[in-house]
Chains A and B, each alone.
Chain A
């Protein structure tokens, strides 16, 4: 190996090292720039998680560096030319390299001259310049920008996460509702199959609505609607019928007669056993003595009166028919009447079973609704947290209740605040009978202060169902609307929170007074 080749080999390694630094810096700068651009793009098109994209930027930058470095790998001729240029060797090295295989006179002399020159030269001088400072400056600035952007809160990303959580919650709620529908698909003896079918349809429709709902609020509304539909499937007179049946049983069980067992079963609301006892009683009528028949007739008459008085006239009517038939000695008619009473008792049990299933389904919907409620509230607070001047809405729901204390209130409020941002709301409520809790919703719109923009937000305050299952009949049509949080309480909570935070050092004094005055003006 000649001294020219040795020199060029060393110079090439120097050159390759220098280019590795250069391309490394370029690749990292490209990665940092693309990362910063990605972070900027995430502001408009949020991505979660963002780290794969950022890692991709880094990998792309390193790939760029690697490819660029490999493509820039210096050849011997290039090294020789750069050495000639930077060392002032006047093309000695490149000529010697190019004519290394030519052995005529002058090329040989030229090689000797080049080798003598290369023996004196320093290969480190081939590389001009050190680190690529300009590229490093770009890298530093881009990295700072990317890190800064990644540390700053990203409203779009928060919205995306909230949306995903909402979608997940909706999907989970829909699955739960579908599971309830599947669970409730099994019919029971004595119930109306059409009712069961309607329940299943309502549940499946609710599951579909929740799954396709555009937002958690809509999903909550769909579940509420489904709850209402399910409640509408329940027999509102079921309680009265049961009371009538129980009263009839108590009357029938008071004296010793052949129907005492049936009476005891009815009194204890064991409807299935009571129906069997009534059928047994009907079949035993033919073998019963006349005195027993008369005694039974008398007891059946008392039971019929008690059933009618307590709210189950159908059962009372059947029992009365049986009593009358026995009294006239028409055993066959009495048997038919008692079998009819047994069938009515079976139906009563079927209704109770269905009502229980419906209540269970409604409770299941309520449980599925709670996570969606949380998502809806989170979305609501997220929207309110964006900027000032969104306004505050207040809604009050007024409900009208009917029947046995089931109440559901819905309120929608609209209002424009002037100065202090108060709003007025109007609400509608419906009340039902039975042992289910009510639900109310209230919404409102309001404009806040002088800088506020008219708000389009609706504030929903979902109710809590009555866990006791006992309703209250206000009787005057005024819904209890217990599911809405009283304004005084809301006001007190918000004012306390505001005044606790307003004393922070970074809030100017003038702004503190503004907040205090604002809540003073809102006071009830």
Chain B
């Protein structure tokens, strides 16, 4: 076999270039984000996959900084919308306003909303009403916005990075299942440890502010996505992903006891797509050319945790979706 196979490189992206770009993005983000390497990697994976991310964490963990920094590093337009209960759909999609031209004639003109950007930070998305949340549905899935009788395409690439606060749930509107399913990953942002906290203090209270340099573009992300989709995955690895998704359904024979007891609805097929695509990207990020079982297992939690819907018994017992995913993954441990 000849190494001339590199002549067939799809586009200009090679695995080495892929790794180089990813490492550059991570390192650049690491200059402003202290710790949170796993969060950064998962967000990057979701963006390479062209998916949206739901970030969950208490305030002050750097979620907004992360998204804003991504915009700078990737040379993308960035918008931020603070979701509140009185936020209306038109406030994010845009609306028609009456304008007057130089001849004094009035006409309606469409004023684009913050949705018309590359990178949208939907801050505390669960504080908006379902009506406003639903306005994001078309944008997230179809990457277009329909206002009145006209549909407008959103810029390419278009990513939504939404945040929500796991506390202060009073006055919030849980995201509808359909919308949750449209998030590629749901990433739980952990609280930094002591060393990271100290580093945060040093960086943010000093006089020098880190300056970010763009290391990639939206086009790079698109090529990286193309390359990732070509990563080979063995049949039994794909089957493991399928079985993992099936095992989240309580009516399936092979479902673990925790699933049968606590889960109301299992993952949708989008969960499987996320598992496989996330695993492919992770393999490339890890410098490999094939998907390993560990890649599937590694992305199982962020890919599935928001696609599982627990029953009242789970709420009463304090059982979380992360525990369900862990039970599902562990149920395959002795079947290897």
A110, B336: Cα distance in complex, Å: 23
A94, B234: Cα distance in complex, Å: 7
Q: Do A91 and B292 form a contact, CB below 8 Å, given A85-B336, A106-B231, A109-B15? A: yes
Majority secondary structure of chain A interface residues (helix, strand, loop or mixed):
helix
Say whether B294 faces chain A, with CB atoms less than 8 Å apart: yes
CB–CB A102/B10 < 8 A = no
B1: contacting residue among A85, A98, A106, A111, CB under 8 A: A111
CB–CB A108/B5 < 8 A = yes
* Residues of chain A from 32 to 90 with CB closer than 8 A to chain B in the complex: 81, 85, 90
Contact with B along A279-297 (1 / 0, CB 8 A): 0000000000000000000
* Residues of chain A from 88 to 124 with CB closer than 8 A to chain B in the complex: 90-92, 94-96, 98-99, 102-115
A91, B241: Cα distance in complex, Å: 14
Tier of interface size on chain A: 20 to 34
CB–CB B234/A105 < 8 A = no
Chain A residue nearest to B6 (CB atoms) is A105
A103, B6: Cα distance in complex, Å: 11
Say whether B237 faces chain A, with CB atoms less than 8 Å apart: yes
CB–CB B227/A106 < 8 A = yes
Chain B residue nearest to A96 (CB atoms) is B290
Say whether B230 faces chain A, with CB atoms less than 8 Å apart: yes
Contact with A along B227-243 (1 / 0, CB 8 A): 10011111111000000
Contacts of A110 in B (CB 8 A): 232, 289-290
CB–CB A112/B3 < 8 A = yes
Contacts of A418 in B (CB 8 A): none
CB–CB B336/A95 < 8 A = no
Q: Do A98 and B230 form a contact, CB below 8 Å, given A110-B289, A113-B289? A: no
CB–CB A91/B1 < 8 A = no
Say whether A232 faces chain B, with CB atoms less than 8 Å apart: no
Q: With both chains docked as a complex, state the minimum distance between the C-beta of A146 and any C-beta of chain B, in angstroms.
A: 34
A113, B287: Cα distance in complex, Å: 10
A107: contacting residue among B15, B232, B288, B293, CB under 8 A: B232
CB–CB A2/B1 < 8 A = yes
Say whether B23 faces chain A, with CB atoms less than 8 Å apart: no
Contacts of B15 in A (CB 8 A): 106, 109
A259, B11: Cα distance in complex, Å: 151
CB–CB B5/A94 < 8 A = no
CB–CB B288/A105 < 8 A = no
Say whether B291 faces chain A, with CB atoms less than 8 Å apart: yes
CB–CB B236/A81 < 8 A = yes
B234: contacting residue among A2, A85, A98, A112, CB under 8 A: A98
Say whether B8 faces chain A, with CB atoms less than 8 Å apart: yes
CB–CB B232/A102 < 8 A = yes
A85, B293: Cα distance in complex, Å: 10
A119, B237: Cα distance in complex, Å: 23
A112: contacting residue among B1, B231, B233, B236, CB under 8 A: B1
Contacts of A92 in B (CB 8 A): 288, 290
Contacts of B230 in A (CB 8 A): 104-106
Contacts of B3 in A (CB 8 A): 112
Q: With both chains docked as a complex, state the minimum distance between the C-beta of B333 and any C-beta of chain A, in angstroms.
A: 12
Chain A residue nearest to B291 (CB atoms) is A91
A112, B15: Cα distance in complex, Å: 14
A112, B3: Cα distance in complex, Å: 8
CB–CB B236/A103 < 8 A = no
Contacts of A115 in B (CB 8 A): 1
Contacts of B227 in A (CB 8 A): 106
A109, B287: Cα distance in complex, Å: 11
Contacts of A90 in B (CB 8 A): 288, 290, 292-294
Contacts of B291 in A (CB 8 A): 91, 95
Contacts of A111 in B (CB 8 A): 1
A-B contact pairs, 25 of them (CB 8 A): A90-B293, A91-B234, A91-B292, A94-B237, A95-B234, A98-B232, A98-B234, A98-B235, A99-B232, A104-B8, A105-B8, A105-B9, A106-B232, A106-B289, A107-B232, A107-B289, A108-B5, A108-B8, A109-B6, A110-B232, A111-B1, A112-B3, A113-B289, A113-B290, A114-B290
15 further contact pairs, Cβ within 8 A, besides A91-B291, A95-B232, A106-B230:
A81-B236, A85-B336, A91-B290, A91-B292, A95-B291, A98-B235, A99-B232, A105-B9, A107-B289, A108-B8, A109-B15, A110-B232, A111-B1, A112-B1, A112-B3
